[in-house]
Amino acid sequence: MTTVRATPQLGPMPIGLPMHTVDEAFVRAPLPLVFDIVRDVERWPALLPHYRWVRYHEQTADGSGIVEMAANRPFGQLNWPTWWLSEMQVISGAEPAVRFRHIGGITRGMEVEWAFAVREGGTFVRLVHSWEGPRWPLIGAVAARTVIGPVFVHGIAARTLAGLGRTAARDARQDADACESSR
């Protein structure tokens, strides 16, 4: 792994692309804990059984960089392997987010955003994927909108959000229990 010269600046999520999926969850854990778990992408395979690997090709001190990811999309007993390479930007501050832009794999050009908001009792997490679709003449956008987005992207994203949410909620309960027992 090498160090990136500068953090990728991915900008805001594009609007109006043919494929647009949204996965949302309320997580009973404080925002800083949820944000830290999501941005620690190298840890995802240990937390999520559908993730095969995550490797940085380049990384900045804040966790941004170029990251390679592979996951399975389960279909009953069968797993469909997926792979992609992304620019990743960790955005700290009042409106934290983790942004990705796929730069390799069939989903090249896909834009992804994990956004977080404090809510009473925890954190609201919104995971958005937007994409033009693969560069297949005539059918690329249709394939993205009707199959790739709802079947593959949503299938993996929903599992990822649920699994990372469970991890954050469990860690928050353990922290609360540790504080309670030390009193």
All domains of the chain in start order, with CATH: 2-12+20-181 (3.30.530.20)
* Model pTM score: 0.90
In this prediction, residue 80 carries a pLDDT of 87
In this prediction, residue 180 carries a pLDDT of 66
* Cβ neighbours for 7, distance < 8 A, ≥ 6 positions apart: 60, 62, 64, 65, 89, 90
Dist. CA 143–CA 82, nearest whole Å:
16
In this prediction, residue 56 carries a pLDDT of 96
In this prediction, residue 4 carries a pLDDT of 58
Order of all β-strands in the sheet with 97-104 = 2-3, 51-59, 65-75, 78-91, 97-104, 111-119, 122-131, 19-27
In this prediction, residue 7 carries a pLDDT of 82
The residue among 82, 55, 49, 47 whose CA lies nearest residue 154 is 82
Q: Spell out the per-residue pLDDT of the chain, length 183, in tens.
A: 556 567 889 999 999 999 999 999 999 999 999 999 999 999 999 999 999 999 999 999 899 999 999 999 888 888 889 999 999 999 998 899 999 999 999 999 999 999 999 999 999 999 999 999 888 888 888 888 888 888 889 999 999 999 999 999 999 988 776 766 666
